[in-house]
Structure 1
């Protein structure tokens, strides 16, 4: 895993997305988050094709906090088996990465 990550998930409503983003940031597990939506999702679920409207949550964190963030998202998510996926941030401004480090540091 890379040192800096963007973690994504989706929720069925804007309110749930904002709640999940807020609880993750307030807990210091993510430095910041964006809620994007609504987005149209096309998927397979329990063997059935589906389409629906969701709200995407993008969380910025460090590798050191990822496991705790994943656990938090899974524990507080309204769905039984939600997407929790991380992609590495392979480049970015020095100031941004310093902010990520400082904001997610355990106090």
Structure 2
């Protein structure tokens, strides 16, 4: 098991997706954010079943950065309750995992 995680979220527009992705990478809480258009979501919100076309974001980070990443997402995400789900990266190409570490905030730099 690695200390790396993948976090999923969605948003309602390409502009929001690009803004969120850039912000997370600039803050060094995400090494990479992949953006996928055409996500169709069906969910219950405030008592009604909703359906919406969304943009999916796949965020690559580290477990120790999740709380900070979540704070940063809440600052820039337009949704009242953004989806933010983290899953562990069990294993991966060592050179990619090392690259992630080089691009993320160092654990000794954390507040």
TM over 0.5: yes
Structure 2 SS opposite 1:39: strand
Instruction: Give the C-alpha shift of residue 22 in structure 1.
Output: 0.6
**Does the CA contact (< 8 Å) of 2:7 and 2:60 recur in 1?**
yes
**Does the CA contact (< 8 Å) of 2:2 and 2:91 recur in 1?**
no
Query: CA offsets, 1:24-57, max 9 Å, x none?
Result: 0011010001011121111111111011100011
Residue matched to 1:88: 88
Which blocks of at least 5 consecutive residues in structure 2 are unaligned?
none
Which blocks of at least 5 consecutive residues in structure 1 are unaligned?
none
What TM-score do the two structures reach when normalised by structure 2?
A: 0.90
**What value does the CA root-mean-square deviation take over the aligned residues?**
1.5
Instruction: Give the C-alpha shift of residue 2 in structure 1.
Output: 5.6
What TM-score do the two structures reach when normalised by structure 1?
A: 0.94
- Segments of 4+ moved more than 3 angstroms: none
